[in-house]
């Protein structure tokens, strides 16, 4: 049954921040449902999708009430675009979840490949007497001790999407944890009192579909990167970052086209081509996510200034995006991302680097963005880093880029 929605005064900034957090969580959960073959996780996706429907309606009503003249309409148009983009991501995640819930069919090769692209997410119900019960996340210090982060808590049917150090965990809470397998196992055991058995991904048994499956995984990675860069473009009002989103979206479209050709070719040699329907659904939903990223950055591309409420919403969301320059003789000056183990040390993931030198390892002229830099990417003084992670991680990251060895 659909929830009735009526206008009520709400903070547009708070709603936008919650929509961003919900959209990113939905991407993680939907692919995890496919990986785990879990109806429970897929059902959580559909619940969050319904919540997103309510959020986008409230955001649209508030924005319509705020537009009093043509200047307001021009300023708020990109905000409406962001609302629509978050809704697209939500719908795409719901379509991915339905592949699991409706047993549409997915080749085992898909679940054999996804673990490389999806960080482990587990759903745990906190048992009475658990060591986590009645403790704050700050006191538990899970992220530092285990590398595992609580990304959402459901209590009495309500979701808390940005649990912080002050959030108290209670018996009966449903907590979604994300992190490495070894850390996940320990935290799950502490939360539930039961052992955690990670699913063993099956071996790929459909050689003809390997390229199609690999293309979906690449589409997923590029789509998520495009969303991150789009929010960065909006936050920093950076046209160059927005242009990188355009490039990524075009690459995803090209992959989608090649995927269709490979899947049709493989279907002719497959005993049960109907079982490949889920793969087609998954690819289509994945492509929608990159389209949504383009919609987020469209205002920047068209020269419309970022509305202050949007920038504040991005800053206040669960996972923050920061732009940090590398200081001369700092811990990052003259090293590589992998050698310094930036993600391990700070919890922040560098999603783009603007190199200050004459050229970078790709041969690009200085000043261009290198998106999705790898462990071998060299950082130098004057480089500008766009990174994503938690607020505490952002503080550590900023200190690392500014402190001297």
pTM: 0.74
Q: In total, how many domains does the chain have? A: 3
Over residues 130-159, mean pLDDT: 83
Q: How far is residue 236's CA from residue 225's CA, in Å, rounded to a whole number?
A: 16
Of 192, 220, 243, which residue constitutes the final position of a domain? 192
Q: What percent of the chain has pLDDT over 90?
A: 13
Instruction: Say whether both 212 and 301 belong to one domain.
Output: yes
Who contacts 359 (Cβ-Cβ below 8 Å, separation ≥6)? 365, 366
Cβ–Cβ under 8 Å, residues 249 and 316: no
Q: How far is residue 193's CA from residue 130's CA, in Å, rounded to a whole number?
A: 7
Instruction: Say whether both 95 and 210 belong to one domain.
Output: yes
Measuring CA to CA, which residue among 243, 234, 181, 236 is closest to residue 371? 243
Q: What is the dihedral of CA 243, 246, 251, 253, to 10 degrees?
A: 180
The pLDDT of residue 207 is 53
The pLDDT of residue 270 is 64
State the residue range of the domain holding 362: 319-402
Is residue 361 pLDDT above 80, yes or no?
no
pLDDT digit string, tens, across residues 18-41: 888 888 888 888 887 887 777 888
253 part of a folded domain = yes
Q: What is the CATH number of the domain that holds 161?
A: 3.30.70.1450
Could you tell me which residue, 303 or 243, shows the higher pLDDT? 243
Instruction: Say whether both 232 and 277 belong to one domain.
Output: yes
pLDDT digit string, tens, across residues 165-192: 788 999 999 888 887 777 888 899 999 9
Instruction: Say whether both 324 and 308 belong to one domain.
Output: no
Is residue 115 pLDDT above 90, yes or no?
no
Residue 260 DSSP code:
H
Cβ–Cβ under 8 Å, residues 248 and 221: no
Of 294, 312, 330, which residue constitutes the final position of a domain? 312
Is residue 156 pLDDT above 70, yes or no?
yes
């Amino acid at each position: 049954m659909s929830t009735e929605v009526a206008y009520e005064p709400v903070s547009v900034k708070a709603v936008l921040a919650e929509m961003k957090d919900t959209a990113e969580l939905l991407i993680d959960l939907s692919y995890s449902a496919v990986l785990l073959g879990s109806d429970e996780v897929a059902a959580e996706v559909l619940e969050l999708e319904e919540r997103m429907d309510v959020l986008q309606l409230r955001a649209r009503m508030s924005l319509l009430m705020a537009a009093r003249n043509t200047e307001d309409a021009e300023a708020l148009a990109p905000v409406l675009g962001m609302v629509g983009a978050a809704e697209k991501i939500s719908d795409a995640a719901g379509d991915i979840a339905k592949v699991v819930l409706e047993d549409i069919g997915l080749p085992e090769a898909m679940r054999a490949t996804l673990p490389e692209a999806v960080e482990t997410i587990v759903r745990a119900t906190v048992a009475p007497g658990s060591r986590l019960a009645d403790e704050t996340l700050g006191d538990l210090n899970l992220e530092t001790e285990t590398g595992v982060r609580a990304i959402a808590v459901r209590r009495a049917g309500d979701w808390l999407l940005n649990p912080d150090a002050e959030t108290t965990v209670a018996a009966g809470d449903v907590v979604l944890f994300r992190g490495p397998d070894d850390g996940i196992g320990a935290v799950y055991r502490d939360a539930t009192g039961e052992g955690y058995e990670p699913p063993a991904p099956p071996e790929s048994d459909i050689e003809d579909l390997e390229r199609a499956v690999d293309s979906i995984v690449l589409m997923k990675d590029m789509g998520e990167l495009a969303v991150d860069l789009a929010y960065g473009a909006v936050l920093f009002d950076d046209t160059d970052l927005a242009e990188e989103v355009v490039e990524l979206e075009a690459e995803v479209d090209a992959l989608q086209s090649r995927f269709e050709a490979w899947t049709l070719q493989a279907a002719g040699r497959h005993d049960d081509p109907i079982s490949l329907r889920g793969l087609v659904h998954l690819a289509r939903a994945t492509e929608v996510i990159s389209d949504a990223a383009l919609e987020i950055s469209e205002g920047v591309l068209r020269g419309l200034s970022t509305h202050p409420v949007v920038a504040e919403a991005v800053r206040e969301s669960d996972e923050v995006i920061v732009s940090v320059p590398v200081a001369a003789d700092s811990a990052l000056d003259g090293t590589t991302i992998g050698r310094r183990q930036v993600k391990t040390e700070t919890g922040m993931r560098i999603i783009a680097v603007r190199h200050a030198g004459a050229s970078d390892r790709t041969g690009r002229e200085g000043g261009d963005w290198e998106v999705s830099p790898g462990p071998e990417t060299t950082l130098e003084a004057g480089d500008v880093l766009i990174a994503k992670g938690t607020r505490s991680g952002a503080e550590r990251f900023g200190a690392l880029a500014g402190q001297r060895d």
